[in-house]
Chains A and B, each alone.
Chain A
Amino acid sequence: MEQEFHYAPFRVEAGKIREFALALGLRNPVYFNKEAALDAGYPDIPAPPTYTTVIDFWNERDFYQLFRVWGLDPNDILHGEQSFEYEKDIISGDVISAKAVLTDRFDKKDKRFYQIETIYRNQGNEVVRVGRATLIERREQHGAEIAGHS
């Protein structure tokens, strides 16, 4: 049951990194200042550790299109788990291509679980990051808040 989704190539830009870093309250100057990034040994301003979210959501072929293609309503989806493997830094100026694969889908009680693996590669075709997400679709609405997803 393998389903694939290809994001459009996405250019990593310092201004967008800055905006994202500010929204997270990050204080490390490497995200804001090229000199600080160079001093820390980066070739340019690096992307923060969870920046791939920006690549997924601000993409010409974005996560909402993935949801549509896979038949999901984003407002019914909760994020259950997320992991990243850090293979190589993502740096301002990189052009990142990503492929998402639905690796598993199963039902548990009134919830449906989706496991998605996304592999991100830079312009040199090097794998920079591997993301694995578990998304939870609530199949029925509850009057009370659902706490915990385990």
Chain B
Amino acid sequence: MAQKLPDIHKNPLAPIDMVRYSGASGDFNEIHTVPKVARSKGLKDPIVHGMLLMGWAAAAIDEWFPDRKRAKFTVRFVGMAHAGEAFVIEGILTTENAGELQIKDASGTGKLVGSFEME
């Protein structure tokens, strides 16, 4: 009974958006905001906080099911995301109370895969 959920498109993040999320969340790991540190760790650019992507994914579930309560939400961060990339959140409902989602960039490369259960 897999049912496709409407795609949710996210505009590209600017570097300042990652600074903003660092401040709001308190996660000041410099690989997310300081290019020099990111490069010294072998990354080409600062990477988006995984928890920012998970926050978007959780909001997508709320948007798909505004009247239902989350019971469980699990994600795996499968690829690094950067400022300037546009993302799409895709989801399917696999049973009445459970579904799967993923966040991909414009080329279709996965950044996050997740599963969720609702009460």
Contact = CB atoms under 8 A, between A and B. Distances in A.
A57 B25 contact: yes
A104 B23 CA distance: 30
Contacts of B27: 53, 57, 63
Nearest to A55: B26
B73 A49 contact: yes
B33 to A, nearest CB: 11
Given A20-B24, A54-B25, A83 B78 contact: no
B14 to A, nearest CB: 12
Given A50-B55, A84-B72, 14 more contacts: A20-B24, A25-B10, A25-B59, A48-B59, A49-B58, A49-B62, A53-B51, A54-B24, A62-B26, A63-B27, A74-B29, A75-B41, A83-B75, A145-B42
Interface of A: 19-20, 22-28, 48-50, 53-54, 56-58, 62-63, 74-86, 138, 141-150
Interface of B: 10, 17, 20-21, 23-31, 37, 40-44, 49-52, 54-56, 58-59, 61-62, 66, 69-80
